[in-house]
């Protein structure tokens, strides 16, 4: 099993290319199920989750071709991929595929809208109730779907097409907004989604669907209106740059010190997080085709954060910001309001010498003047990269195990950081 070795202490200087957003690419790929024409997506990142979704879509009969790679970049960076779902051969998404990636459950919306039926495994075999899939089911039922849950599968039917309706999300859900918006594009009549997610990835999907012939207004606001159409066509669309990768590398520069340009990054996609980072004493500025991040020698100021749906501070940057706060000059409070059990990285940061105490959904981080390298274990995608950030500033050697978590969401992380002066390498078993 691969691991990543880091020797801390080097400043970061140079340029880091920001890849296409995984969280945008996945729903865009799933949208290919809505049409029998080809959908071409530019700037698709080369990640484990993308490859897994390609396999899942292939199970439904989707063919794909890779037409090239991003200009002036190395082999393996973001690609242009064309998906063709001319014929859906299977409307079942089996447990052995869905259990590996929760987002694959989202195929239920396009399959139901186009084929009138879908049989999709509950992700991870989870139970209905407090789990997020209840929002998907309630929303699809509001559009007229008949849904049963049997033997760990959600079985959905809409024999005479879905019917537009008004649906109010009881809580903001990016995934459920993706699914209901896709399903409503082929429904009869008008659908109004209220308390919808406002994330840039939702806007990116809506723009793609409009390019395919959908009629959507209000994406990026809490109310999205969709006028159903008979069929969608093919299109060519670009995946937005990854705001979570952008924020992660910005925090890495803040932690290690240095001066780095994040190429292709967009400030508007994560303004709140960058404003928060600026409060730590890090300089953030827009430059041509990117964002410049600088911290030269000064200490890190402590800042309190609360995770919120967009445009608030992203939950997907919470672990990285905690890694940064471990060496702040004072105490900071980090409150997680989106997901339960998302402080699994705390014990691993403590192995590096961090002082963190937990009080419910709040972590109190008492900054220390030095961290010391140690072997640590990645527990999930975002937690794993928080350990990398801490390791960049820790004295001596840090080894991060279980880096397959990193490969799910960060394209060539060690190459991008080493290109800016970090001592970091992947060690294969």
CATH number of the domain residue 145 falls in: 3.65.10.10
How close are the terminal C-alpha atoms of the chain, in Å?
A: 5
- Non-local (6+) Cβ contacts of 51 within 8 A are none
Coarse DSSP helix, strand, coil percentages of the chain, rounded to the nearest 5 percent: 35, 30, 35
Q: In the annotation, is 126 catalytic?
A: yes
User: Residues forming the annotated binding site?
Assistant: 22-23, 102, 131-135, 171-174, 316, 338
Q: What confidence tens digit (pLDDT) does each residue in 95-129 have?
A: 999 988 888 999 999 999 999 999 999 986 333 33
The H or E element spanning position 346 is helix 346-351
From the list 415, 376, 406, the residue with the least C-alpha distance to 394 is 376
Clarify whether residues 151 and 203 are in a common domain. yes
For residues 183 and 200, give the distance between their C-alpha atoms in angstroms, rounded to a whole number: 19
Q: What confidence tens digit (pLDDT) does each residue in 217-230 have?
A: 999 999 999 999 99
**Where does a domain end: 194, 219, 238?**
238
Clarify whether residues 78 and 11 are in a common domain. no
Q: What confidence tens digit (pLDDT) does each residue in 150-181 have?
A: 999 999 999 899 999 999 999 999 999 999 99
For residues 7 and 373, give the distance between their C-alpha atoms in angstroms, rounded to a whole number: 8
User: Residues forming the annotated binding site for phosphoenolpyruvate?
Assistant: 22-23
Residue 72 has pLDDT above 80, yes or no: no
Q: What confidence tens digit (pLDDT) does each residue in 263-322 have?
A: 999 999 999 999 999 999 999 999 999 999 999 878 999 999 999 999 999 999 999 999
Average confidence (pLDDT) over 405-421: 93
Clarify whether residues 36 and 176 are in a common domain. yes
Average confidence (pLDDT) over 401-418: 92
Answer whether 36's CB lies under 8 Å from 87's CB: yes
Clarify whether residues 246 and 184 are in a common domain. no
For residues 426 and 408, give the distance between their C-alpha atoms in angstroms, rounded to a whole number: 15
Handedness of CA 267, 272, 273, 277 (dihedral sign): positive
Task: Determine which one of 7, 54, 88, 126 is catalytic.
Answer: 126
Residue 378 has pLDDT above 50, yes or no: yes
Residue 190 has pLDDT above 90, yes or no: yes
Clarify whether residues 116 and 220 are in a common domain. yes
Q: What confidence tens digit (pLDDT) does each residue in 19-39 have?
A: 999 999 999 999 999 999 999
User: Residues forming the annotated binding site for UDP-N-acetyl-alpha-D-glucosamine?
Assistant: 102, 131-135, 171-174, 316, 338
Average confidence (pLDDT) over 326-343: 92
Clarify whether residues 268 and 200 are in a common domain. no
Clarify whether residues 391 and 336 are in a common domain. yes
pLDDT band at 77; cut points 50, 70, 90? low
pLDDT band at 78; cut points 50, 70, 90? confident
Query: Cis omega (within 30 of 0) on the bond before 77?
Result: no
Clarify whether residues 200 and 325 are in a common domain. no
- Non-local (6+) Cβ contacts of 129 within 8 A are none
Question: Is residue 370 packed enough to be buried (19+ CB in 10 Å), middle (13-18) or exposed (0-12)?
Answer: exposed
Order of all β-strands in the sheet with 92-93: 92-93, 117-121, 153-157, 146-150
pLDDT band at 70; cut points 50, 70, 90? very low
Q: According to the model, what pLDDT value does residue 296 have?
A: 83
Residue 187 has pLDDT above 50, yes or no: yes
Clarify whether residues 195 and 159 are in a common domain. yes
Residue 157: count other Cβ atoms within 10 Å of its Cβ.
16
Q: What percent of the chain is modeled with pLDDT above 70?
A: 96
**Where does a domain end: 213, 238, 263?**
238
Beta-sheet strands, E only, within 128-182:
146-150, 153-157, 166-168
Clarify whether residues 383 and 274 are in a common domain. yes
For residues 30 and 53, give the distance between their C-alpha atoms in angstroms, rounded to a whole number: 8
Flag the least confident range among 6-10, 232-236, 382-386: 382-386
Q: What confidence tens digit (pLDDT) does each residue in 120-140 have?
A: 999 863 333 345 689 999 999
* Claim: this prediction has a pTM higher than 0.75: yes
pLDDT band at 67; cut points 50, 70, 90? confident
Average confidence (pLDDT) over 188-194: 98
For residues 386 and 248, give the distance between their C-alpha atoms in angstroms, rounded to a whole number: 8
Residue 279: count other Cβ atoms within 10 Å of its Cβ.
12
For residues 334 and 307, give the distance between their C-alpha atoms in angstroms, rounded to a whole number: 8
Residue 372 has pLDDT above 80, yes or no: yes
Task: Name the one residue in this structure whose structure tokens are 């063709």.
Answer: 84
Answer whether 110's CB lies under 8 Å from 31's CB: yes
Task: Concatenate the DSSP letters of all residues of 255-286 into one string.
Answer: HH-EEEEEET--GGGSHHHHHHHHTTT-EEEE
From the list 342, 343, 341, 370, the residue with the least C-alpha distance to 354 is 370
Q: According to the model, what pLDDT value does residue 342 have?
A: 80
Residue 183 has pLDDT above 80, yes or no: yes
**How many domains in the chain?**
2
Q: How many residues does the structure list for the chain?
A: 429
Answer whether 182's CB lies under 8 Å from 31's CB: yes
Output the average pLDDT for the chain: 93
Residue 146: count other Cβ atoms within 10 Å of its Cβ.
12
Clarify whether residues 203 and 222 are in a common domain. yes
Q: What percent of the chain is modeled with pLDDT above 90?
A: 86
For residue 279, give its domain range: 3-18+241-427
Residue 359: count other Cβ atoms within 10 Å of its Cβ.
9
Clarify whether residues 208 and 255 are in a common domain. no
SS3 at position 63: strand
């Amino acid at each position: 099993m691969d691991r990543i070795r880091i020797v801390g202490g080097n400043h970061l200087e140079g340029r880091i290319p920001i890849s296409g957003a995984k969280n945008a690419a996945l729903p865009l790929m799933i949208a290919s199920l809505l049409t029998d024409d080809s959908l071409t997506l530019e700037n698709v990142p080369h990640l484990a989750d993308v490859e897994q979704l390609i396999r899942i879509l292939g199970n439904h009969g989707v063919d794909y071709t890779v037409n090239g790679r991003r200009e002036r970049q190395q082999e393996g960076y973001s690609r242009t991929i064309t998906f063709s779902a001319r014929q859906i051969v299977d409307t079942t998404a089996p447990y052995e595929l869905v259990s590996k990636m929760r987002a694959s459950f989202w195929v239920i919306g396009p399959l139901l809208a186009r084929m009138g039926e879908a049989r999709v495994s509950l992700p991870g075999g989870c139970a209905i109730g407090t789990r997020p899939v209840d929002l998907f089911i309630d929303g699809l039922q509001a559009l007229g779907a008949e849904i049963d849950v049997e033997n760990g599968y959600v079985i959905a039917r809409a024999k005479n097409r879905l019917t537009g309706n008004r649906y109010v999300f009881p809580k903001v859900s990016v995934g459920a907004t993706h699914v209901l918006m896709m399903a409503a594009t082929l429904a009869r009549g008008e659908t109004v989604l209220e308390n919808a997610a406002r994330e840039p990835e939702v806007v990116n999907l809506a723009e793609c669907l409009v390019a395919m012939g959908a009629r959507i207004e209000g994406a990026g606001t809490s109310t999205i209106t969709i006028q159903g159409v008979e069929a969608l066509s093919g299109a060519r669309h670009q995946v937005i740059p990854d705001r979570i990768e952008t924020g992660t590398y910005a925090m890495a520069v803040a932690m290690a010190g240095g001066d780095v340009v994040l190429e292709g990054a967009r400030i508007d996609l994560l303004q709140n997080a960058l404003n928060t980072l600026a409060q730590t004493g890090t300089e953030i500025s827009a430059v041509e085709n990117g964002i410049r991040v600088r911290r030269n020698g000064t200490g890190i100021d402590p800042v309190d954060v609360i995770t919120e749906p967009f445009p608030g501070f992203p939950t997907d940057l919470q672990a990285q910001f905690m890694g940064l706060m471990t060496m702040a000059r004072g105490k900071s409070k980090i409150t997680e309001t989106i997901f339960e059990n998302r402080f699994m990285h705390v014990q691993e940061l403590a192995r590096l010498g961090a002082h963190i105490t937990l009080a419910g959904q709040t972590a109190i981080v008492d900054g220390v003047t030095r961290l010391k390298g140690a072997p640590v274990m990645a527990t999930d995608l975002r937690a794993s990269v928080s350990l990398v950030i801490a390791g960049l500033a820790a004295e001596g050697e840090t080894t991060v195990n279980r880096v397959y978590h990193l490969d799910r969401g960060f394209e060539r992380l060690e190459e991008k950081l080493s290109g800016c002066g970090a001592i970091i390498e992947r060690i294969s078993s």
